[in-house]
Structure 1
Amino acid sequence: MKAKKRVAVHVSHFSWFEVFLSFLVMSLVAAVPGLLYGQHNWHVVFSVYSLWYALYWVIVALVFVGFTAWQRYRSMDRPLRELSDAAERVASGDFSVYLQPLHSPANYDYLDAMFANFNTMVAELGSIETLSDDFVANVSHEFKRPLANIEGYAQALQLPNLSEKDRLQYTTTIIQATQQLSSLVTNVLRLSKLQNQTIKPQLELFDLNTQLTRVVLDHDAMLEAKSLEMAIELPEKLELTSDAALLRVVWQNLLRNAIKFTSVHGQISLKAVQTKTAVVVSFQDTGEGMSAETQRHLFDKFYQGDSSHASEGNGLGMAMVAQILHLVNGEIQVTSAIDQGSTFTVTLPLTQEK
């Protein structure tokens, strides 16, 4: 998506000093007749020229009122009108609006704070629009790939004189593509529910040791397929109050990610420790590691740092991990370097209020 240019809209700042100065000037102007004629002569002048004196005061009052109205318009009405116009532009879908506060953040008044908050809101709305466009584009791309495989191999199955070996291979490829589509749909729906907080954490006290062990056993075939060594270091007893079902998804994705990027005959280590207030679970592998750029985008939807593994996933696993940990008040840290493996460290509160 093409980045939009930000438009600076300069606004005026309300100054109490200017109001006081204008009041002082008007007061001095009103006192000019008294200063010119003196206190004693002024009574004589006033009795003779009372009508002109009244007219003089009307003129002074009109000038003062007009100046005050102009000052109010310049310092309040105009910027508020500009804010209203900017809001209308945002409502019509233009997120390039930017209201420039006159003062530095340390000297903000209520108008400056209003403009700063407005700018933050517009920037967030623009980001949401960008993410929405990118999400649609990425989903479309991810659907096209398995659909193209299904279409291509389905047409190939119609070829005459096709050998039984080729027929079996094409059928297997079609089944794998449909499974990939099913997984993509499931993950998109699950991630959508997580982001919209449709899924609420179901807190319960459960045995984390048992859960981690079962997750490893469920992936035993994948580990054996690449001859990977799995090292597990868990305390004798480790209980946690959290959402067991959601955390199982976290461990599954972290382990699959480690298997995916670890070369044959490599090693994966699973370690869990308990502190006074938290549980720390880490997955460490001897895989190919990640660049700093990959680490920055690792938890973005559909991001896959290594295109050579793109067919093995859909780029939603790490995004789901981040969303789940956010829901259960957890944190995740990544330490990695190219050709030096990666370590994913998850920190979870030991107890939570239901």
Structure 2
Amino acid sequence: MKAKKRLTVHVSHFSWLEVFLSFLIMSLVAAVPGLLYGQHNWRVVFSVYSLWYALYWVIIALVFVGFTAWQRYRSMDRPLRELSDAAERVASGDFSVYLQPLHSPANYDYLDAMFANFNTMVAELGSIETLSDDFIANVSHEFKRPLANIEGYAQALQLPNLSEADRLQYTATIIQSTQQLSGLVTNVLRLNKLQNQTIKPQLETLDLNDQLTRVVLDHDAMLEAKSLEMAIDLPEKLELTSDAALLRVVWQNLLRNAIKFTPANGQISLSATQTDTAITVSLQDTGEGMSAETQRHLFDKFYQGDSSHASEGNGLGMAMVAQILRLVNGEIQVTSELGQGSTFTVTLPLASKKITT
């Protein structure tokens, strides 16, 4: 990381000049009565009594001003200096910084609140940095696999005396890997736009019954390839105001996920219900189910709970589903047990609810 120029603090809350002036003023004020004591005779100023009296108040003033200055330094200047040093460390990339508040939470003052908020900010920045590093590492890993396939099979195509069957197989593998790369790039860009809210919901009144039915028909070939039974139970009228294009991505990813993890001759059920405020869509399958650990990370980028299906996806579909539903004020819940299948339940607000824009 590029080294940054250290900032110089030119003004401190702790000033020795202020301490000296406070001491001088208090000494003079305290000594005046003693200096003028006794029949208003100016010769009394130089009496031994007056000198001891003045010295007494000088000591009192010195102790008082010193204690006040120390308190000010301890409660103001030193904490602010610690905060400045900590902020400089964070600016240089050190997210392990922690500032200990001066008091217990029940007795927090403004400085304690500032320290606590600073610690929270540093923790959030550290998490973002970690997520960024993980994202780059995961993207690199996901690119390596199809690129390695393309390179390997392209070299194999150069072998002499290659049979026609092998040539077709190698070519098909290369095409599949390029399609996987293309899909990965598309999903990474789309997810990035969703997270940065570059994509804004385009609101329109849509027939959810029609949209869900069309998504199922689009995946008819995939369903037939595994001999999966598709049961649909949708109300005849199912309308809401939302972004049709974004919701289509949600249904596509959920259905493909169900098809991928449901074994041959299994069943997938799609149903929906409507209340006065929301529409609830449920997609249930008789697939492999998920462990509690998989469910916790299901919507994380690049997470794939079952490595045996890694070549069929890139771990971004469910992350996009979660991000899209946040944009349109929707919610998603997952119920699943290993060997018992999974149920995804999506709840969407009707037109009366404000959509995030």
| Structure 1 position 106, deviation (Å) | 3.5
* 1:167 and 2:167 are equivalent in the alignment: yes
Look up the SS of the partner of 1:206 in the other structure: strand
Decide whether the 8 Å contact of 2:31 with 2:54 is kept in 1. no
Q: 1:35 to 1:235 in 2, by over 3 A?
A: farther
Percent identical residues: 91
Q: 1:39 to 1:212 in 2, by over 3 A?
A: farther
| Structure 1 position 32, deviation (Å) | 16
The Cα offsets for residues 152-171 of structure 1, whole Å up to 9 and x where unpaired, read as 00011111111111111111
Q: Relative to structure 2, which stretch is displaced further, 258-267 or 72-81?
A: 72-81
Q: 1:111 to 1:216 in 2, by over 3 A?
A: same
Decide whether the 8 Å contact of 1:8 with 1:100 is kept in 2. no
Q: Distance in 1 between matches of 2:336 and 2:41?
A: 93
Q: Distance in 2 between matches of 1:327 and 1:78?
A: 45
Decide whether the 8 Å contact of 1:13 with 1:102 is kept in 2. no
Q: Relative to structure 2, which stretch is displaced further, 282-291 or 57-66?
A: 57-66
Decide whether the 8 Å contact of 2:208 with 2:238 is kept in 1. yes
The Cα offsets for residues 21-75 of structure 1, whole Å up to 9 and x where unpaired, read as 9999999998999999999999999987334433432332222111101011111
| Structure 1 position 137, deviation (Å) | 0.6
Q: Relative to structure 2, which stretch is displaced further, 7-16 or 255-264?
A: 7-16
Decide whether the 8 Å contact of 2:206 with 2:241 is kept in 1. yes
Decide whether the 8 Å contact of 1:331 with 1:348 is kept in 2. yes
Q: Relative to structure 2, which stretch is displaced further, 202-211 or 31-40?
A: 31-40
Q: Distance in 1 between matches of 2:57 and 2:274?
A: 82
Q: 1:290 to 1:22 in 2, by over 3 A?
A: farther
Instruction: Please report the RMSD computed on the Cα atoms of aligned residues, expressed in angstroms.
Output: 5.7
| Structure 1 position 113, deviation (Å) | 1.4
Look up the SS of the partner of 2:129 in the other structure: helix
Q: Distance in 2 between matches of 1:114 and 1:66?
A: 27
Decide whether the 8 Å contact of 1:232 with 1:271 is kept in 2. yes
Q: Distance in 1 between matches of 2:256 and 2:191?
A: 18
Q: 1:347 to 1:254 in 2, by over 3 A?
A: same
Q: Relative to structure 2, which stretch is displaced further, 51-60 or 259-268?
A: 51-60
Decide whether the 8 Å contact of 1:226 with 1:264 is kept in 2. yes
The Cα offsets for residues 287-317 of structure 1, whole Å up to 9 and x where unpaired, read as 0000000001001100000000000000000
Q: Distance in 2 between matches of 1:273 and 1:46?
A: 100
**Unmatched 5+ stretches in structure 1:** none
Look up the SS of the partner of 1:280 in the other structure: strand
Report the counterpart of residue 79 of structure 1 in structure 2: 79
Decide whether the 8 Å contact of 1:270 with 1:281 is kept in 2. yes
**Normalized against structure 1, the TM-score is what?**
0.86
Look up the SS of the partner of 1:25 in the other structure: helix
Decide whether the 8 Å contact of 1:7 with 1:96 is kept in 2. no
The Cα offsets for residues 78-129 of structure 1, whole Å up to 9 and x where unpaired, read as 1111111111100000000111224443332222211111111111100111
**Unmatched 5+ stretches in structure 2:** none
**Normalized against structure 2, the TM-score is what?**
0.86
Q: 1:8 to 1:205 in 2, by over 3 A?
A: farther
| Structure 1 position 318, deviation (Å) | 0.4
Look up the SS of the partner of 1:339 in the other structure: coil
Q: Distance in 1 between matches of 2:91 and 2:242?
A: 40
Decide whether the 8 Å contact of 1:202 with 1:242 is kept in 2. yes
The ranges of structure 1 where at least 4 consecutive aligned residues each deviate by more than 6 angstroms after the TM superposition are 1-48
Look up the SS of the partner of 2:98 in the other structure: strand
Q: Distance in 1 between matches of 2:19 and 2:238?
A: 69
What is the count of residue pairs matched by the alignment? Answer: 354
Q: Relative to structure 2, which stretch is displaced further, 34-43 or 211-220?
A: 34-43
Q: 1:14 to 1:282 in 2, by over 3 A?
A: farther
Q: Distance in 2 between matches of 1:146 and 1:234?
A: 39
| Structure 1 position 351, deviation (Å) | 1.8
